[in-house]
Amino acid sequence: MSPRLDGARTHYASSACPQGPTNSDSPAASAVPGPRTGTPSTTTDFSGVTGEELEGLEGLPEIPPYAEVGALDARALSKTLFERLETLDEGTHEYSYVRNTLVELNLALVKFAASRFRSRSEPMEDIVQVGTIGLIKAIDRFELSRGVEFPTFAMPTIIGEIKRFFRDTSWSVRVPRRLQELRLDLAKAGDELSQQLDRAPTVAELSERLGITPEEVVEGMTASNAYTASSLDAKPEDDEGEGALADRIGYEDNGLEGIEYVESLKPLIAALPARDRMILSLRFVSNMTQSEIGEELNISQMHVSRLLSRTLAKLRKGLTVEE
């Protein structure tokens, strides 16, 4: 660890001193406001911190600008800060300062974990923000007494938080967590079996590999279709001449509205006299005029009109009673 990070703070200031840096100041010291003298200072800025609050921060090493802290220095600084964090009371200013400093020092872990998900559709800023939540949780749970390095402890928590974010927000249609996890298991088992068999595995083979029923395999495959959704206005990439998806999913069939009436009319028509059924058939099936029907049945056109009107009124009444 560099000497500037290893020294203890020997001076504390509640506000920045108006005196500027001298030629003997180091670049790191110049970036940190505080008292300036002719010798290098180990003072870090505590602007806005009262004298009473400074008492809990005595003995901490200097914290240079976070961009200048390397991985090894950040690990050593974090260990020192964790030791101090265990002695502070939660909710105090000192506790918040040390905890926030730990978050800033270890943001590189979050960015490294987030880079693994760069191919996802979510903005990288959102992934880093979610990963930072995981980092904060890891800081709150970490214990030095376990003898584990903090990056080793924090990385699974950060990645787990990011994966949970994708699990809860990436699905186009919300499905139970059981099916979300089953989809991942099926994808992993499918890749393994495809390499072994040199072909796509069957439902039975997937069922045997995962130790579940074929019905559960089919349910998981069906649920995986809800992971992504395509726009109805999108056109297929492989065929530019083909229309949008909305043009290929069917159209509104106005005849569907009449199915209920047709089914309701069937028993009513079957109960009509034979001549009335014949007149209905000739008029509405054969499209014959009333005069042609009269000639066919050897009756007048007026008689056909009265019979047809009476039959239609009877059918309308029957439909009204049914409703």
CA distance 68 to 66: 5
The model's pTM: 0.44
DSSP bridge partners of 8? 61
Within its chain, how far is the Cα of 155 from the centroid?
Answer: 21
Helix (H, G, I), strand (E, B) or coil at 230: coil
What are the φ and ψ backbone dihedral angles of 8, each rounded to 5 degrees?
Answer: -85, 155
Helices 214-224 and 177-197 pack at an angle, to 10 degrees, of: 100
* C-beta of residue 218 within 8 angstroms of C-beta of residue 210: no
First to last CA, the chain: 88
pLDDT tens string, the chain, 323 residues long: the values are 443 344 443 333 333 333 333 333 333 333 333 333 333 333 344 444 444 455 556 667 677 677 777 778 788 888 888 888 888 888 888 888 889 989 998 999 999 999 988 877 778 888 999 999 999 999 999 988 888 889 999 999 999 999 888 877 766 667 777 887 888 889 899 999 999 988 999 999 999 999 999 999 998 888 877 766 666 676 666 555 566 666 667 667 777 777 887 888 889 898 899 999 999 999 988 999 999 999 988 999 999 999 999 999 998 888 876 54
Domains of the chain, with CATH numbers?
Answer: 1-105 (no CATH), 115-170 (no CATH), 177-233 (1.10.10.10), 265-322 (1.10.10.10)
pLDDT of residue 229: 66
For 141-159, the DSSP string reads H--GGG---HHHHHHHHHH
Give the pair of three-digit tokens for residue 56: 């809990």
The pLDDT value recorded for residue 256 is 77
Rounded to whole angstroms, the Cα distance separating 118 from 60 reads 37
Cα separation, 271 vs 8, whole angstroms: 105
User: Token pair for residue 65?
Assistant: 């600008």
b or e along 168-184 (b: 16 or more beta carbons within 10 Å of the residue's beta carbon)? eeebeeebeeebbebbe
